[in-house]
Structure 1
């Protein structure tokens, strides 16, 4: 987390599913000495070192370690206050919870607010009628799954079906009637899903549900590769209410599978504004407004001071010169401290905290300091900001292009680069989208092709019952091999074409050398690196020639092989067999056509398996591009 604890919501790394030594299968297979090493402090350290912000403690049917972990965390907080905490310490929020084995064998997570205790979990387990060993999953509840969900909520918790796509998960374990009851339960709005590509049950899809998809480490061993798994959750100070709102909000407040922090914000931001002794603001005590680095909204009735805060910011940032002439008489009252119409007094002061990266700058304005402050021009340079009131925008809007020009002419915007980058992203997105549609159409034909292949197989079996089975089977195998070879040769040709295409695009760059007459050092460097590109171009030309030679040599080896001779011999035998088929009034073309069609379908089905993998990858690329394009909108 960013050390700047700004107001409003931010994103937190949340591990929704974590076990402790109180789960009997924790460190399963390890000896007692190793298990004894996992103390509450050790357990907390592991999560803090992973950079996790929030952890749900969800042992199997027990909450016994919750109080121990809370006590140890409180101890670390106290040490941090006096600068005696371990180096690995970082803030961590513990959400008491439990993984309940419910009637029917389903596992269900129950998560509660940070102030709940081991006793609260014990009371919950009693209420749902868990009859097995505490810490084990050797028993189930007497209450039904839907009843357990409602009881969790009545106790102030959130119910989340655990690992729904695994053996003891909601989507894999229960019958359709029970599933329907759960899907109709309004107290469920999130699920733990391990595989994002998992195909959810038809009933879930028919109901058009949009449960938030979260994941946790389900840690039973800190060496497991899944340890450190988390879900990004957007909320204010972590609490059960904030968590519930985020999960209900869905993808706007829940992010899976994202390593980069979504808490990144602009480098230059206004952190705080303080107004003292203004005529109507801050005259009893200073008015302090703290801001988020994201969107901030001032809400108030007419005359409540919204514009005053904006204009006081403009004043302390020395941006009065950007006011249109038509508005200056009205705006002047915000800096007037000597007349009855002014909104300031001789003892008024305004201060503002401006952040540039990790640096904080305190800017001040007061009547006495007017002659002892840097020039307005230096403020523009050192503390860039755009301030536009509603009336100011109205004046600018008289020229519709004015606002766009202000934005586009800003050096940091790099408008031309933005346009080119946006075109490139959209072009790439369209190409991927077209390919995705193409692959989806092909994959959609899979079941139809499987049916055709079955029918063709039966026809082949009927024909091969004749005394010519050996010839027909040998010919069939050779034709299948020939089809595979044709496919491989096609890929080789494509790769050869790809190399040729690359060779066309890699060329030394020509440039005007005379411009560098007075800078021979950079000219020499530029020429040197250009020669390196020339060497790369020559290497690619060599690769192009080698790729062409590969195919030529292959053709020679293929036609001189025993296989090729065998293929030609069986082609002759097959032609002779065709003549015999004619004498027996059997359609000679039928077997050939069936074999060919069957071979083609088998090739398509094999290729479709590759298409499915390609489609999965392209959809991921498409989603990433969509996110990038949205950023440029």
Structure 2
């Protein structure tokens, strides 16, 4: 669950098995077997819907059975996701126009009967063809008087208010009783804006699955057509506040549309601190990680604890580093804020993965990084400030950075999108490769110098051999050779004698 506001999936027009036409064609009684209320509620929960408005035709009969079914499902499954049931109705006003009434989840189902009586509905409860004796404008005022929200149903379709007499429509648009309208076709959104109404969307589903819908009709089922409401809590007040800021807080949604609760950026979910006798927990949301409080309540302390846990104390410099030395992992015992029993836990979500960083005072220079896999935590490798790329800036640090002309470039270098670590690693590899090539060059140059020296020696020997060959060609050398031959022959004869 998020802290703060999030987008809730609400079906503002949900027909229950109590509706006479559920399981068949709208407006036509269906005598076939219908699903149980437990099956009906479960279908919405499994479709990822957070809440429904039970809008029976001129009736409240589906509200309490829906609540009982939800209670039974929760007893059977304690891990059932949160699910909100708003009591409501689809009233057929005079002229046959359909109007939705939405009331607070805690309201008694009898509030629907009261509105029906105020609108002078005397027909059969659950019948959509019989009409009240009050106009759409009267019905809107009655719903608002009982604390509800009035939403004209499928305004651009059959029995919708866009087909009203222009004078009646103008009268309806000139009052504050109607602030939203259900619009089915996107092409008709401009008509809602013309009257200052917020366009919303409900399923008006009469079947559990799209396969059960008759041919020729839009396939509506739990989760196919919804209104997304951005609020801290899914209740009537949250819905009412969202409708006052529709651009930022209300979206019409069909299955297959992008889920606005899915975020691409990483964010801190929770910060937990155990220090001395105190244990405190702080939760954050993906769209606003902020701490609000008066001076001296500990906002800066929490910032420094996050820095300490994520291994970013080395980023402090200058006077700021000296002022915050008590939060450093190497601080001595007389000055440090923490002790050996202090523990800091940071939960961080990135790419739909939940990480947990645990820092403890008995091992202050290294934190433990874990990744949640199912119901267990798996130990992770790597540097924490790489796996969890969060930059931490205190007010003093920002002031200090403002005095350094290179500080902004340093911040840019540390941004995850810049991937400075990858650049540093590539630079180191290139530097090592360059040094290796330089060593090879030195070796080749040394070998080249040796080759040149040997070549010189060879040339000198070749010169001597040439000179010797020239001497052998002279008459003197020939005479010397003949004389040596005679001497050898004389020696041999002497030895023979």
Q: TM-score, normalised by structure 1?
A: 0.57
Distance 2:308 2:34 in 1: 60
Shift of 1:67: 0.7
Residue 54 of structure 1: how far off its partner (Å)? 1.7
Find the counterpart in structure 2 of residue 568 from structure 1. Answer: none
Q: Classify 1:352/1:292 alpha carbon distance in 2 versus 1 (closer, same or farther; 3 Å).
A: same
Match of 2:359 in 1: 365
| Partner SS state of residue 198, structure 1 | helix
Matches of 1:358 and 1:9, distance apart in 2: 19
Q: 2: distance between equivalents of 1:29 and 1:277?
A: 64
| 1:247 Cα deviation after fit | 1.8
Q: Determine which of 190, 193, 202 is the counterpart of 1:216.
A: 202
Q: For residues 320 and 104 of structure 2, what CA distance do their matches in structure 1 show?
A: 52
CA distance in 1, matches of 2:405, 2:92: 64
Q: 2:163 aligns with which of 172, 175, 180?
A: 172
Q: Which residues of 2 match residues 9-408 of structure 1 at below 5 A?
A: 9-28=5-24, 35-81=32-78, 91-176=82-167, 178-198=168-188, 200=190, 205=194, 209=196, 211-222=197-208, 223-224=212-213, 225-227=219-221, 228-257=224-253, 259-266=257-264, 268-277=266-275, 283=277, 285-335=278-328, 338-339=333-334, 343-344=337-338, 347-357=341-351, 359-370=353-364, 378-399=383-404, 402-403=407-408, 406-407=411-412
The aligned length equals 394
Higher strand fraction (1 or 2): 2
Instruction: Tell me, in whole angstroms, the C-alpha distance in 2 between the residues paired with 1:173 and 1:276.
Output: 64
1:508-587 to 2 correspondence within 5 Å? none
Matches of 1:414 and 1:316 in 2, distance apart? Answer: 22
8 Å CA contact retained: 2:182, 2:202: yes
Q: Which runs of 5+ in 2 are unaligned?
A: 214-218, 370-380, 421-497
SS at match of 1:197: helix
What's the secondary structure of 2:38's corresponding residue? helix
Distance, in Å, in 2 between the alignment partners of 1:161 and 1:118 is 20
Structure 2 Cα separation of the partners of residues 248 and 242 of structure 1: 10
Q: Distance in 2 between matches of 1:409 and 1:350?
A: 24
**SS at 2:8's partner residue?**
strand
CA distance, structure 2, for counterparts of residue 373 and residue 70 of structure 1: 47
Give the TM-score normalised by structure 2: 0.71
Aligned residues of 1:13 and 1:54 also touching (Cα < 8 A) = yes
Kindly indicate whether the alpha-carbon contact (under 8 Å) linking 2:124 and 2:130 is maintained by their aligned counterparts in 1: yes
CA 1:349–1:25: 2 relative to 1, 3 Å: closer
Contact 2:311 2:367 in 1 (8 A): no
Whether the aligned pair in 1 keeps the contact of 2:23 and 2:30 (CA below 8 Å) is no
Unaligned residue ranges in structure 1 (runs of 5+): 84-88, 416-633
How far off its partner does 1:299 sit?
Answer: 1.0
Rounded to whole Å, the distance in 1 between the matches of 2:367 and 2:234 is 42
RMSD of equivalent CA atoms: 3.1
Specify whether residues 49 and 270 from structure 1 end up closer, same or farther in structure 2 by C-alpha distance, changes over 3 A only: closer
Q: Does the Cα contact within 8 Å between 1:22 and 1:62 map onto a contact in 2?
A: no
8 Å CA contact 1:21–1:35 kept in 2: the answer is no
CA shift, 1:392, in A, is 1.7
Q: CA deviation at 1:47?
A: 2.5
User: 2 CA distance for matches of 1:404 and 1:186?
Assistant: 53
Structure number with bigger Rg: 2
